[in-house]
Amino acid sequence: MADLFDVIVIGGGPGGYVAAIRCAQLGLSTACIDEQKDSEGNPSLGGTCLNVGCIPSKALLDSSEQYHRLQHQFGAHGISADNVSIDVSKMQARKHEIVKNLTSGIGVLFKANQITAIHGFGRLMADKHVAVLDPETGKLKQTISARNIILAPGSIPVELPGIPFDDEFVVDSTGALAFDKVPQRLGVIGAGVIGLELGSVWSRLGSKVVLLEAMDKFLATVDHQISREAARQFKKQGLDIRLGAMVKKVTSSPNGLEISYEQKRKQHKLEVDRVVVAVGRKPATDGLLAADCGVGTDARGFIEVDERCLTSEDGIWAIGDAVRGPMLAHKSSEEGVAVAERIAGGVGHVDFNTVPWVIYTSPEIAWVGKTENECKEAGIPIKTGSFPFAATGRAKAMEDTVGMVKMVAHAETDRRSA
Ligand code: FAD
Ligand code: AMP
């Protein structure tokens, strides 16, 4: 007979590992299945976020920002240094250590909370059974079952048709976090959050970065006043952002790679040394759901859930990047905690109006609640106020005066815009 748990979690990212820990804290016997491996081929908990997402990107953003500040901003403080250089392998080793420290920490937390960690690919079968398969061979390792199952498989990068990743020259975000040297010319397809963050890293380290963005509007979901100011600052920093640029193909050329794109109905070519494809992510639901498991996905592969994260099957829940809503680590974790509370008979709650967003460029862009444009579109009467950092003492003291704070409030009640 299959081992029986109170809860099985499939996926060990910020949604899955947080859900598993909360379930265990609430007294539920819990197993967590995850297939992720680190660069040395060892099982590594923490999902996209800790292994190849939030954490390594923030580590490189910080290293590259220190390097940039030393070269361009420290002079104003009276600090100068000769022969400033960057050792990319040391920078990558630091990133690796941070990731290792955090991912191994989850293993420690699992042990402390008596969670059964299982390395493998989990497939939801009928009658709340889960098959654990060897991620390489696809062979069945074991079958387990539970009263409740939480699906938290996360997401994977979208590949553009006809532009396959080759893990060396045409790469996804994971590849762009692992470059062993600074590419001289870097093409980034997609000027969304991930494209901008990775473009910033390599630009600060010396790459000539061109971002090709299909949409005419820059950062369309961001407050328009803020995105206009951000575009101005990024341009000043040397990021070449080309809007309305639809990439068609990437071919090899005698001197590197040639990106063909269409802009204003004209065909253009751009020669680069490496290409980062950052055109979005899709749910990692391939092979997750057996035909007779009772749970389905929508046309784009997202697992269908209600507002409580419950699927169409009683006791089967889904959270994080693989369900509707923003693809953000803290949103996944919040859903994980809420589902654990519901399973244990409590009340879980996630307020989607208060999920913060951050883009870790310089300056960073962060917001919570509805933007001015969203309020206007929804017909909500608002008043707005903004204050430039250039007029605040702290910002001046830090030599960091670019940007502003903006408030959007209801015109009559003064409540926040959410
Ligand atoms: P994931 O973190 O994707 O975890 C899912 C896990 O499940 C993975 O380990 C996967 O291998 C495993 N898995 C999938 N299917 C199976 C299966 N069938 N069986 C077993 N295991 C399976 N978000 C932020 O909030 N802030 C940031 O700064 C930020 N920066 C980012 C930077 C980059 C470069 C990227 C790529 C993403 C970033 N994100 C950021 C997004 C963030 O990483 C995700 O929103 C978050 O990881 C989603 O968590 P999750 O638990 O839903 O899924
Ligand atoms: P995000 O959704 O924040 O990950 O951003 C991905 C960005 O990639 C979006 O702004 C898309 O408009 C953009 N994008 C998608 N396909 C293409 C393409 N073929 N060429 C250029 N940009 C693209």
44 pLDDT exceeds 60? Answer: yes
Name the CATH superfamily for 170-279.
FAD/NAD(P)-binding domain (3.50.50.60)
pTM exceeds cut of 0.85? yes
147-179 residue pLDDT tens: 999 999 999 999 999 999 999 999 999 999 999
In whole angstroms, how far apart are CA 44 and each of 161, 332, 394?
Answer: 30, 18, 41
Tell me, what's the pLDDT at 197?
A: 98
Distances (CA, A) of 235 to 57, 240, 242, 277: 21, 6, 10, 20
Q: Which residues pair with 208 in a beta bridge?
A: 185
What is the rounded distance in angstroms from the CA atom of residue 378 to the CA atom of residue 76? Answer: 45
Q: Report, in angstroms and rounded to the nearest whole number, the Rg of the chain calculated over CA atoms.
A: 23
Q: Of 55, 12, 43, 14, nearest to 30 (Cα)?
A: 12
317 C-alpha to ligand 1 centroid (Å): 17
Atom of ligand 2 nearest to the CA of 281: 4
User: Does the pLDDT at position 416 exceed 80?
Assistant: no
| Ligand 2, atom 6: closest residue by C-alpha | 279
Kindly list the domain boundaries of the chain, sorted by start residue.
3-157+282-354, 170-279, 369-410
Residue 1: pLDDT band (50, 70, 90) is low
| Spatial separation of the C-alpha atoms in residues 362 and 345, rounded to whole Å | 44
How far apart CA 107 and CA 44 sit, in angstroms, is 8
For 10, half-sphere exposure in the C-beta direction (CA atoms, 13 angstrom radius) is: 33
User: Separation of 280 CA from ligand 2 center, angstroms?
Assistant: 6
Alpha-carbon span 38 to 267, nearest angstrom: 41
pLDDT confidence of residue 415: 83
Which protein residues are within 6 Å of ligand 2, measured from CB?
160, 189-190, 192-194, 212-215, 245-247, 278-280
Residue nearest to atom 16 of ligand 2 (CA): 279
Q: Which ligand is nearest to the CA of 359?
A: 1
Q: Is 103 in the pocket of ligand 1 (CB under 6 A)?
A: no
> Which atom of ligand 2 has the smallest separation from the CA of 248?
19
Rounded CA-CA distance 182/186 in Å is 9
Report the distance separating Cα 411 and Cα 99, nearest Å: 45
Closest ligand to the CA of 43: 1
Q: How confident is the model at residue 418 (pLDDT cuts 50, 70, 90)?
A: low
Separation of 281 CA from ligand 1 center, angstroms?
A: 10
In the structure encoding, which two tokens stand for residue 199, read together? 């473009």
Task: Choose which residue among 163, 210, 213 to substitute to test ligand 2 binding: the one with the highest number of ligand atoms within 8 A of its C-beta.
Answer: 213
Ligand 1 lined by 259 (C-beta under 6 Å): no
Bridge partners, residue 357, by sequence: 367
Q: Which atom of ligand 1 is nearest to the CA of 330?
A: 25
Locus of tokens 């759901």: 289
* Residue 2: predicted pLDDT: 73
Q: Report the pLDDT averaged over residues 248-257.
A: 95
Query: Is the C-beta atom of 152 inside 6 A of ligand 1?
Result: yes
Q: At residue 54, does pLDDT exceed 60?
A: yes
Tell me whether domains 3-157+282-354 and 170-279 share a fold. Answer: yes
Task: Calculate ∠ Cα 182-188-194, nearest 5°.
Answer: 95
pLDDT tens figures, 133-145: 999 999 999 999 9
Kindly tell me if the per-residue pLDDT of 409 is higher than 80.
yes
132-169 per-residue burial string, b: 16 or more CB within 10 A, e: under 16? bbeeeeeeeeeebbbebbbbbbbbbbeebeebebeeeb
- Is the pLDDT score of 235 beyond 60? yes
pLDDT in tens, 188-221: 999 999 999 999 999 999 999 999 999 999 999 9
For residues 59 and 95, is the Cβ–Cβ distance under 8 A? yes
Judged by its nearest atom, the ligand closest to the C-alpha of residue 212 is 2
Evaluate whether 314 touches 299 at the Cβ level (below 8 Å).
Answer: no
Exposed (0-12), middle (13-18) or buried (19+): which is 386, by Cβ within 10 Å?
A: middle
Q: pLDDT for 254-304, tens place per residue?
A: 999 999 999 999 999 999 999 999 999 999 999 999 999 999 999 999 999
| Structure tokens given for 316 | 């089967």
Please give the mean pLDDT across all residues of the chain.
Answer: 96
The pLDDT of residue 95 is above 70? yes
**pLDDT at position 150:** 99
Nearest to 405 by CA among 381, 377, 386: 386
Among 240, 291, 294, 293, which Cα is nearest to 268's?
A: 240
Q: What is the per-residue pLDDT across 307-366, written as a single tens digit (0 to 9) for each?
A: 999 999 999 999 999 999 999 999 999 999 999 999 999 999 999 999 999 999 999 999
**Neighbouring residues of 269: CB distance < 8 A, sequence distance ≥ 6:** 258, 259, 260, 261
As a whole number of angstroms, the distance between CA 324 and CA 343 comes to 20
pLDDT band at 109 (very low <50, low <70, confident <90, very high): very high
**To the nearest whole percent, how much of the chain has pLDDT over 70?**
99
- Burial of 391-403, coded b for 16+ CB within 10 Å and e otherwise, reads eeeeeeeeebebb
Smallest CA-to-CA distance from 89 within 50, 46, 60 is with 60
Q: How far is the CA of 250 from the centre of ligand 2 (A)?
A: 15
Backbone angles phi, psi at 238, to 5 degrees: 105, 5
pLDDT-based confidence at 401, cuts 50/70/90? Answer: very high
Q: How many angstroms is it from 31 CA to the middle of ligand 2?
A: 37
User: What's the gap in Å between 376 CA and the centre of ligand 1?
Assistant: 33
* Residues 23 and 33: beta-carbon distance below 8 Å: no
CATH number at 3-157+282-354: 3.50.50.60
410 has which bridge partners?
382
Tell me: pLDDT of 186 over 90: yes
The answer on pLDDT for 417 being more than 90 is no
Please give the average per-residue pLDDT across 374-380, as a whole number: 95
Rounded CA separation 340/14 (Å): 14
Compute the average pLDDT of residues 231-251: 97
9, 10, 42, 48, best to mutate for ligand 1 pocket (most atoms within 8 Å of CB): 48
Q: Which of 54, 201, 335 to mutate to test the pocket of ligand 1 (most atoms within 8 A of CB)?
A: 54
pLDDT of residue 143: 98
DSSP code for 158? P
* Ligand 1 atom 22: residue of nearest CA: 11
Nearest-ligand number for the alpha carbon of 187: 2
**Overall average pLDDT of the 248-259 stretch:** 96
Which DSSP symbol is given to 392?
-
Beta bridge partners of 212: 189, 242
Contact of 269 with 294, CB cutoff 8 Å:
no
Q: Is 56 in the pocket of ligand 1 (CB under 6 A)?
A: no
